[in-house]
Structure 1
C-alpha cells in the first residue's frame, strides 16, 4: 500500500523527460565531433611495454613446441 504517490511521481518525471526537447546547439556539437582525438595514454604505455611482451610470447611458443 501507499505506492500510488510514488508511481505518480515516476510517471510525471517520465512524461517530462519524454516530451522535453531542449534546443540543440549544432555548432557546439560539430566542434566537439571534429576536434582531434585526445592524447591516448594507454597506447603510450602499451608501446613502452610491447617489446617485453613480444619476447615473452616467443618464449612460450618455443616451450610449447618442445613439449609436442
Structure 2
C-alpha cells in the first residue's frame, strides 16, 4: 500500500531536479576554460614492461 506514496515522492524529486537551474558562475567557468590544468598527467599509465606481466596468464590459458 505504500508504493503510491513512494512513487509520488520519487516523482516530486525527479520534477524538482528536472526544473532546477542553479546560478552559473561565469567567472569560475572562464578561469577553468582559459587556464590549462597543470595537474593533468601526460605520461602513459602503462609502461612497456606491462606486456611481460601478461605472459603468465597466456601460459596459464594454454595449460587448460
TM-score range, shorter chain: 0.5 to 0.7
Relative distance call for 1:12 and 1:36 in structure 2 (3 A) is same
**Distance of aligned partners of 1:26 and 1:40 in 2 relative to their CA distance in 1, 3 Å threshold:** closer
1:45 Cα deviation from its structure 2 partner:
6.5
Q: How does 1:22-37 map to 2 (within 5 A)?
A: 22-37=22-37
TM-score, scaled relative to structure 1: 0.54
Output one character per residue of 1:35-55: Cα deviation in whole Å (capped at 9) or x when no partner: 213244351766xx5xxx4xx
Structure 2: gaps of 5 or more residues: 49-64
- Root-mean-square deviation (CA, aligned residues, Å) is 2.8
- Note the C-alpha offset of 1:3: 1.1
Trace 1:1-68 onto structure 2 (pairs within 5 A).
Answer: 1-43=1-43, 53=48
Structure with higher Rg: it is: 1
Q: How many residues align?
A: 50
